[in-house]
Homo-oligomer: A and B are copies of this chain.
Amino acid sequence: MAAIVDFWFDFASTYSYPAAMRIGDAAERAGVAVRFRPFLLGPIFKAQGWDTSPFSIYEAKGRYMWRDLERLCAGLELPFRRPEPFPQNSLLAARIAVAGLAAGAIWPEEFCIAVFRAQFGEGRRIDDPSTLSAILTVFGVDAATALAAAQTDDNKARLRAQTDEAQRLGIFGAPAFIAPDGELFWGNDRLDAALAWAAR
C-alpha cells in the first residue's frame, strides 16, 4: 500500500494552481498516493483577522505574488492569466468537489484540476455556475445533478466539517500537504518535500 498524502486546497488559492497541476505526476514518481481535500480558507483567514485574501490586504506582497506566480508558471510551462476579480468565491466549486469525492465518483480530481486551469490559466470566473457546469459536462457528468448534490444541507455540512478539520490540523494557508504521520507542509514550494517525507 502506497502512503497517502492529503492535498488540502482552496480553489481561490493562487499557489494551489501549480500544486494541483503538478501533484499527480510528482506523486507517481515518489510512489505516493494523493487524496484531494478541498476546504475553505475564508473561515481560517477570518480567525486570523482577515476578511479577504492576505494578498489583497497586503499590497506589496500581493503585487509580488502575481509576478512570482507568473514566473513559476512560465518555468513549469503552465498557462497563466490573472483572474478578475480576485479572490474569487470558491464556495460552489468546493461544494461540487466535496460532494463528488464523498460519493466516490471518478471525476472529482480531474474536475478540481480543470477548475484551477480555468481560473488561473484562462482567467475564467469560477463563481459562475456556468463555468463549473461546462467543466462537469466535459467529464461526462450531468451538471444539474452534480450542482443539486453540492447544495444539499448534508453536503454543505460536509464542507464545513472539512474546513474545521483543516483548522484543527494546523492548516493556516493553501496549498497544504499532510503526510500519514501528521507532518504538515505548506505551499507549492513544499510539495516535493511532503511527498518525499511520506515515501520514507
Chain A residues close to B by CB (< 8 Å):
48, 58, 60-61, 63-64, 67-68, 71, 170-173, 184-187, 189-190, 193
Q: From the candidates B60, B68, B170, B193, name the one contacting A60 in the complex (CB within 8 A).
A: B170
CB–CB A64/B184 < 8 A? yes
| Identical chains bound together, number | 2
Given A60-B172, A63-B170, output 12 extra A-B contacts at Cβ < 8 Å: A48-B58, A58-B172, A60-B170, A60-B171, A61-B173, A64-B170, A64-B172, A68-B185, A68-B186, A68-B190, A187-B189, A189-B189
Across-interface contacts of A68 in B (CB, < 8 A): 185-186, 190
CA distance in complex: A28, B64 (Å): 27
A60 and chain B: residue at smallest CB distance: B172
